[in-house]
Chain A
Amino acid sequence: DGGITQSPKYLFRKEGQNVTLSCEQNLNHDAMYWYRQDPGQGLRLIYYSQIVNDFQKGDIAEGYSVSREKKESFPLTVTSAQKNPTAFYLCASSDGLLTGELFFGEGSRLTVL
């Protein structure tokens, strides 16, 4: 089945630790995105990538890093520099501006202890 797989689903981290969230898609989509969602809030864009080996900062990139070495994969690292990392993280992909339809993975819920 085609889709987007995020892992882990739940993650606990101690303050000062970096963590990496995995995102893999088999939809053959060029564009991939990372969003953060806080309780009762909308989606905020962290990073996005239109093509392999290229990515751009979104609205809240500070304290996060990404890579796009393969078309299928767009991992997100939450660094210790992110002051308030507890949130629901959503990875998404689209076929670019062909239809523009954006599809989401199931999300990763990060809690900092």
Chain B
Amino acid sequence: QKEVEQNSGPLSVPEGAIASLNCTYSDRGSQSFFWYRQYSGKSPELIMSIYSNGDKEDGRFTAQLNKASQYVSLLIRDSQPSDSATYLCAVIPSGTYKYIFGTGTRLKVLA
């Protein structure tokens, strides 16, 4: 069973701090990795996609991928109360079109 694991949280950080969200995956051949933000009662919104080892930055968000350790993370700099949401990690395992989602980490940014 191919899996994606996330700590359910909640992860609480003060406003202005860096929030670090982590995700591990079981299929070593996975090639595509995604982070989604989901506000309560709303649908997931794509924040970042990453395909190769290293860091990818987009505004206040940085995705980090380490395929050797089967680990992908999302850093949110200068966290704002509006960042409070559940963050879902998703992976496309090798040889499939099926996305595997983690159960999400709930982030709370305290004003």
Contacts and interface: CB of A to CB of B under 8 A. Distances in A.
A41 B104 CA distance: 8
A41 B98 CA distance: 18
Contact of B45 (A42, A58, A97, A104): A104
Interface string A76-100: 0000000000000010000011011
A31 B45 CA distance: 17
Given A102-B46, A107-B43, A97 B97 contact: yes
A103 B46 contact: yes
Interface residues of A, number: 21
Interface of B: 32, 34, 42-46, 49, 88, 90, 92, 97-99, 101-104
Interface of A: 31, 33, 41-43, 45, 48, 50, 58, 90, 96-97, 99-107
Given A43-B101, A104-B43, 18 more contacts: A42-B104, A43-B44, A45-B99, A48-B97, A48-B98, A50-B97, A97-B32, A97-B92, A99-B49, A100-B49, A101-B46, A102-B34, A102-B46, A102-B90, A102-B99, A104-B44, A105-B43, A106-B42
